[in-house]
Chains A and B, each alone.
Chain A
Amino acid sequence: MNEFKGHVGIGPAVEGIALAAHDNFSTRYDLDRDRGIVSRPSHKLYGENYVGRILVLNAAKGGVASAWMLREMVRKEMAPLALLLNDANPVMAQGAAFAQLPLIDRFDTDITAAIRTGDHLHIDPAQGLVRVLR
């Protein structure tokens, strides 16, 4: 069983299936939040359904929108289960805290290379820990 250590995160512990790529992430720029799919054609996860998955991506990018949007996505059941990023920015952290969506970043390795799409994960933000159960 592999285990990866990140910085202490935000939100509750969860278990679920990973959807991973090395691309960056913005809720506004990259997602069709009504259909629950990645909508930016140049994104490696283009066309993938992200709802209920643990999104594993490189860095948070772009603007202010994610802070409000994550809570609305949770309300509409159109949110990922959790976010694992190499680098979050303040907007993503503020959004995760507002939505109580699990988020961990700053791992001891490139998390997008360590985790594959389809991996079964247990994540514990309070400890900054990700376990691969696959």
Chain B
Amino acid sequence: MKLNDLEQSMLEGAHGRAAQWAIDYQRSVGTFFDARDFVPVRVIHMSTDRETMGDAGVAFLEELAALPLEERRPRAFATADFRGFDEETFRFLLPGRDLVAQSAEAVDALGKLGVVTSHAYVNDHSVTAPAFGEACGYSGTPSVVYMNGIVGARCNFEAGPSSLAAFFTGRVPRYGFHLDGARHATHAFRLDFTPATVVDWGVVGALIGRRLNSYWSVPAIEIVGDRPTVLELNHMALSMASYGSIAMFHVIGVTPEAPDWETACGGKTLTPETLSQSDLDKFYDEWGGAGEKLDVVALATPQLDMPEIVQIAELLDGSTVHPDTTLLVYTPIEIKEACARIGLNGVIERAGGRVVHGHDFFATFAKEIREAHGWERLMTHSVKAVNICEGYGYKPTPAAIPRCIESAIAGKVLP
């Protein structure tokens, strides 16, 4: 990899030990992917949930934070979506585990380093965002596929330690989706139906992710019917990322780098594969669960926006969640506070649900939570959460929010 004078001096230690570690680490990853050089970045998003960091990750952060300031100066603006701070709910979900205390060390270390621990999960809309065409160093897979596909910014998966390195160097290795050619479609799909809900869009993402199953694949999708909302695109995108490690996509006539097929494909001609309603139906059939006792409904991933919480409050108003079912509604703390001001949280809580802020269900010891409560059957409107929670031993059922809420009231999975 070619290093400029600044990067070479970082490697030689002239800009402190943190930058020296970071540029050396980034160079090894860049070499692995044949990067020719680095590209500067202004904004960083750092994935730092306590479960994935482990004690080793926290210890590493603390070592960096203990360095004198001149040894650890940052070169970019970074936010961290650190989670695990809804103390009341977490005490209920995992009794006996003081996640707040465990997380405090990492939050302290991140704060000392100058990382903004905003506590929002996938804060694509709420924190300073990159512009079209701008290189960035985002960490969470949903954020990366969102930035590439929906915003048109340029980003690879810069996972936890990688985004931390970018924070200290202000740059990332230039490979993958920083390069024009890698952003063109490699595979084409055509929907011959209009997905009805965000869950359907998530299933479309899962089907495409399963078919492609490679980070380097870029699907382009032709749709019929109304233009999808950003939330619908987001569910499809994060599901593609979850099932297939996809980081870039196009929707013809919708996303910014796909005004038409020719532009999306970089002049190539691709033959689209058709996805139909029957493909969706088969996916839903894989998970089943109708009629079974329902242990937990987790509405998260991404955390909910205000219209979704309005919808849940309307569905619950005057009803009660079954005593054997736990209803969890996840949202960023800013949205939770706004919903409290207009009385929505009260409606949900009086019905027996919990409005949870600050951490996402799947990302915060979901396996241990299942074991602590003896839970099996889970419902969620997030097809990504279905994927992860299956690996944690749940029997997940994907369903739209109304069916999830009606099932929570009934205490069993309604058809």
Binding site for B on A (CB under 8 A): 7-10, 24, 26, 28-32, 39-42, 58-69, 71-76, 87-91, 93-95, 97-98
**Could you pull out 28 A-B pairs where Cβ atoms are within 8 angstroms?**
A8-B31, A29-B388, A39-B391, A59-B213, A59-B214, A59-B245, A61-B213, A63-B140, A63-B242, A64-B47, A65-B159, A67-B159, A67-B162, A68-B54, A68-B57, A71-B54, A71-B57, A71-B60, A71-B161, A73-B54, A75-B54, A88-B32, A89-B157, A90-B29, A90-B176, A91-B141, A93-B29, A95-B159
Q: Are B162 and A90 in contact (CB under 8 A)?
A: yes
Tell me how many residues of B have a C-beta within 8 Å of chain A: 42
Q: Which of A24, A69, A74, A91 contacts B157 (CB 8 A)?
A: A91
Q: Are A40 and B245 in contact (CB under 8 A)?
A: no
Q: Which 5 A-B pairs have the closest CB atoms?
A: A72-B54, A67-B159, A89-B215, A94-B162, A29-B391
Closest to A73 in B: B54
Asked if B158 is at the interface (CB within 8 A of a chain A CB), the reply is: yes
Q: Which of B158, B214, B216, B391 contacts A94 (CB 8 A)?
A: B158
Q: Are B393 and A39 in contact (CB under 8 A)?
A: yes
Residues of A near B160 (CB, < 8 A) are 64, 67-68
Segment 383-415 of B: residues with Cβ below 8 Å from A = 387-388, 390-393
Q: Which of B161, B214, B392 contacts A68 (CB 8 A)?
A: B161
Q: Are A64 and B141 in contact (CB under 8 A)?
A: yes
Residues of A near B390 (CB, < 8 A) are 29, 40-42
Q: Are A71 and B56 in contact (CB under 8 A)?
A: yes
User: Given A61-B243, A65-B52, A67-B159, does the pair A94, B387 have CB atoms closer than 8 Å?
Assistant: no
Q: Complex formed: what's the CA distance from A89 to B215 in Å?
A: 6
User: Given A8-B31, A71-B57, A75-B54, does the pair A90, B156 have CB atoms closer than 8 Å?
Assistant: yes
Q: Are B161 and A90 in contact (CB under 8 A)?
A: no
CB distance from B387 to the nearest CB of A (A): 6
Residues of B near A67 (CB, < 8 A) are 159-162
Asked if B132 is at the interface (CB within 8 A of a chain A CB), the reply is: no
CB distance from B305 to the nearest CB of A (A): 21
Residues of B near A24 (CB, < 8 A) are 213
Closest to B141 in A: A63
Closest to A58 in B: B213
Digitize B16-36: 1 where CB-to-A-CB distance is under 8 Å, 0 elsewhere: 000000000100110111000
Asked if B298 is at the interface (CB within 8 A of a chain A CB), the reply is: no
Binding site for A on B (CB under 8 A): 25, 28-29, 31-33, 47, 52-57, 60, 139-142, 156-162, 176, 213-216, 241-245, 367, 387-388, 390-393
Q: Are B29 and A61 in contact (CB under 8 A)?
A: no
User: Given A8-B32, A28-B388, A89-B245, does the pair A69, B54 have CB atoms closer than 8 Å?
Assistant: yes
User: Given A61-B213, A63-B242, A89-B245, does the pair A68, B53 have CB atoms closer than 8 Å?
Assistant: yes
Q: Are B56 and A72 in contact (CB under 8 A)?
A: yes
Q: Are A28 and B52 in contact (CB under 8 A)?
A: yes
Residues of B near A10 (CB, < 8 A) are 28-29, 32
CB distance from B24 to the nearest CB of A (A): 10
Closest to A29 in B: B391
Q: Are A98 and B213 in contact (CB under 8 A)?
A: no
User: Given A29-B388, A39-B391, A68-B160, does the pair A94, B215 have CB atoms closer than 8 Å?
Assistant: no
Q: Which of B31, B157, B214, B244 contacts A90 (CB 8 A)?
A: B157
Q: Are B391 and A72 in contact (CB under 8 A)?
A: no
Q: Complex formed: what's the CA distance from A9 to B32 in Å?
A: 6
Residues of A near B367 (CB, < 8 A) are 32
Interface centre among B25, B142, B391 (most CB of A within 10 A): B391
Residues of A near B242 (CB, < 8 A) are 62-63
Q: Complex formed: what's the CA distance from A93 to B27 in Å?
A: 12
Closest to B384 in A: A63
**9 more A-B residue pairs beyond the given contacts A8-B32, A94-B162, A95-B161, with a C-beta to C-beta distance below 8 A:** A29-B387, A39-B391, A62-B241, A64-B141, A68-B159, A87-B214, A90-B159, A93-B32, A97-B25
